[in-house]
Amino acid sequence: MYRKKTRYKHMIEQQTSKRRYLCGVLCALLVCCGAPAAFASETALAELLEKQERLQVQKEINDQRLEQLQDDAEEKAAHRDEVNAQVQAVQAELDEMRQEIDSLNQEVARLENRISGKKAQIQQNMELLKARIRALYVTGDAATVEVILNSHSLVEAAQKAQLLKAVTRRDRELIENLTGQIQAIEGDLARIDQDKQQIAAWRKEAEAKSAQLVELYQEAQKLAANAQDQTLGVQAIADMLEVQIQENDEAIGQLEEELYGRRITGMGSTAGPTGSFAWPMPGYTYLTCNFGDDGHRGIDIAGGDIYGKPVVAADGGTVLYAGWNDSYGYCVFIDHGNGYETRYAHMSELAVETGDALEQNQVVGYVGSTGNSTGPHLHFEVIFDGELYDPMSYFGHSDS
């Protein structure tokens, strides 16, 4: 990101430098052409360029701040979501515990019903046993009857050796079976009660953890909301700066067009070479590539709505070539007859043919993006005595 910002800043400085250079050249040219009224426009243009540079610096600083806030907001939102996920997980555990406790309560109720049934059966068998004991009493075995009647429970009576001898084997088996079932059920109840106590302890711990997580989530939500509010505030400043930059850029464009327009009007349209170059792209001065940049043969002139706009001859002369070139796309080469040649490339359409005699400011074609091009622009070259020269250094050059 630092490299990106550095390249962006360097690009801004280049653009500002180019415009300042154009402004200085125009000022000198307008003085030579007897147009002192242009000083006010030139001064206003310089002020606008300085303002634009300040706005660009402010925007760069604000954009860096915005990027930091956006990263911070994303981190806080991610933390909030993570805590919320933990809250949801604990809530799910609590729901499972509640369901398990409900299931255990249902099992307890079922076992308690079974115990009640078994006790009823034991009571019924006890009555039958007592009837048999009365029969034993009638037969005269008083000692055995007394032992049985003095027992406090059926289990105690069943364990008496004397009673076991008197009671039939069927009665003993029945009593032992019912007693064993009751003991098993009571064991299940004890286990279930222990499970309920453990689950209740877990549930209490989970509820405490859930309450703590909810509190953390609320705090995380508050921090995320504050970060988002700060981001929106800085974004609003970025939008405002963007609008100011755009409006200022439009004002710069209007002044530059006014200055260029004065120059072109002052030069007029003259047959044959005038010895002075007119700007080939009226109304557009934004340079995306300078002469010599990475071996660049000329300058590239671009603009937001430049596609299809007319390209004019920098000076009068004869068309050496008008047609297609794999690198230049649709292009025009003009021989100005005084050692100078200019070339215009990447056009979408041509307005002249090879051999045509041209006047200065005559339309030769329309801006496009043909050939080896990355977007709509005019590639403009100046050649003198077969050697390439920086077009900006020859802007307004007079061959005298």
Indicate whether 379 belongs to any domain: yes
pLDDT value, residue 49? 76
Q: Would you say residue 268 has pLDDT above 50?
A: no
265, containing H or E segment: helix 169-267
Q: What angle do CA 7, 9, 13 make, to 5 degrees?
A: 115
Same domain flag for 290 and 254: no
What type of residue sits at position 352?
Answer: V
Same domain flag for 199 and 213: yes
Choose one of 267, 292, 311: the last residue of a domain.
267
Same domain flag for 292 and 333: yes
Indicate whether 145 belongs to any domain: no
Same domain flag for 255 and 353: no
User: Considering only CA atoms, which of 307, 308, 312, 290 is closest in space to residue 299?
Assistant: 290
DSSP 355-382: T-EEBTT-EEEEEB--SS-SSSBEEEEE
Classify burial at 145, counting beta carbons within 10 Å of its beta carbon; exposed 0-12, middle 13-18, buried 19 or more: buried
Same domain flag for 237 and 93: yes
Q: How many domains does the chain have?
A: 2
Indicate whether 332 belongs to any domain: yes
Indicate whether 232 belongs to any domain: yes
Indicate whether 246 belongs to any domain: yes
Choose one of 267, 297, 318: the last residue of a domain.
267
Same domain flag for 119 and 231: yes
pLDDT 10s digits, 282-316: 989 889 999 999 889 999 999 888 999 999 999 99
Q: Would you say residue 265 has pLDDT above 60?
A: no
Angstrom distance (rounded) from CA 145 to CA 130? 10
Q: Would you say residue 153 has pLDDT above 50?
A: yes
Greater pLDDT, 268 or 141: 141
Angstrom distance (rounded) from CA 284 to CA 281? 6
Ranking 182-191, 216-225, 318-327, 372-381 by mean pLDDT, the lowest is 182-191
Indicate whether 155 belongs to any domain: no
DSSP letter assigned to residue 384: E
Ranking 98-102, 126-130, 133-137 by mean pLDDT, the lowest is 133-137
Q: Would you say residue 366 has pLDDT above 80?
A: yes
DSSP letter assigned to residue 277: P
Q: How many helices (H) and strands (E) does the chain have?
A: 6, 10
| Pairing of β 299-302 and β 310-312 | unpaired
Q: What CATH number should be reported for the domain holding residue 190?
A: 1.10.287.2610
User: Considering only CA atoms, which of 11, 22, 2 is closest in space to residue 56?
Assistant: 11
Greater pLDDT, 398 or 64: 64
Indicate whether 168 belongs to any domain: no
pLDDT value, residue 90? 77
Same domain flag for 331 and 231: no
pLDDT 10s digits, 59-113: 889 999 989 988 988 988 888 888 888 878 877 877 887 787 777 778 777 877 8
Q: Note whether 336 and 273 are within 8 A (CB).
A: yes
Choose one of 245, 267, 289: the last residue of a domain.
267
pLDDT value, residue 201? 82
pLDDT tier at 257, thresholds 50, 70, 90:
low
Same domain flag for 287 and 206: no
0.85 exceeded by pTM = no
Q: Would you say residue 324 has pLDDT above 70?
A: yes
Same domain flag for 235 and 291: no
| Pairing of β 310-312 and β 363-367 | antiparallel
Same domain flag for 109 and 253: yes
Angstrom distance (rounded) from CA 205 to CA 3? 52
pLDDT value, residue 29? 43
Same domain flag for 194 and 328: no
Integer CA distances (angstroms), 155 to 96, 127, 186, in order: 42, 14, 16
Same domain flag for 260 and 281: no
pLDDT value, residue 348? 96
Q: What CATH number should be reported for the domain holding residue 371?
A: 2.70.70.10
Beta-sheet strands, E only, within the chain: 286-289, 299-302, 310-312, 317-325, 329-335, 340-350, 357-358, 363-367, 378-384, 387-389
pLDDT value, residue 204? 82
Three-state SS annotation for 147-177:
HHHCCCCHHHHHCCHHHHHHCCHHHHHHHHH
Q: Which domain holds residue 352?
A: 271-400
pLDDT 10s digits, 205-226: 777 877 887 887 788 788 888 8
Angstrom distance (rounded) from CA 329 to CA 363? 17
User: What's the average model confidence in pLDDT over 368-384?
Assistant: 93
pLDDT tier at 26, thresholds 50, 70, 90:
very low
Indicate whether 322 belongs to any domain: yes
pLDDT tier at 368, thresholds 50, 70, 90:
very high
